[in-house]
Amino acid sequence: GAVVSQHPSWVICKSGTSVKIECRSLDFQATTMFWYRQFPKQSLMLMATSNEGSKATYEQGVEKDKFLINHASLTLSTLTVTSAHPEDSSFYICSATTGQGAGYGYTFGSGTRLTVV
């Protein structure tokens, strides 16, 4: 079945530094990838939708300059949290889809827990 690999699974960084999270589709080509943020005991909040080769579409309230998304190939999307602050600490989850065929589905990564100290 479709597999999405997300790396790293956890990261601790100092305030003011940047952190990059990778999301790879291992056995399919993901035309579209999504980035979610999940606070403790809360739901997944969609941050942005990224299509291969084009700029990401950010949800209202998400800072584009803070959360840089790159989707340079059909198998890789990256989320960079720039100038991280403690309030950016959260669980980040990516999801990928081929976006094709009737009733296409989504495959989720295992998530990245970011702690900013």
Partner 1 sequence: AQRVTQPEKLLSVFKGAPVELKCNYSYSGSPELFWYVQYSRQRLQLLLRHISRESIKGFTADLNKGETSFHLKKPFAQEEDSAMYYCALRGNQGAQKLVFGQGTRLTINP
Contacting positions for partner 1 (CB under 8 A): 32, 34, 36, 42-44, 46, 49, 57, 93, 95, 97, 99, 103-106, 108-111
Name which of 29 and 110 has its Cβ closer to partner 1. 110
Q: How far is the CB of 106 from partner 1 (least distance, A)?
A: 6
CA distance 83 to 11: 15
Give, in order, the Cα–Cα distances in Å from 59 to each of 15, 26, 34, 38, 48: 24, 26, 11, 14, 6
Name which of 13 and 108 has its Cβ closer to partner 1. 108
Name which of 8 and 16 has its Cβ closer to partner 1. 8
Cβ burial of 109 (10 Å; 0-12, 13-18, 19+) is buried
Q: How far is the CB of 46 from partner 1 (least distance, A)?
A: 6
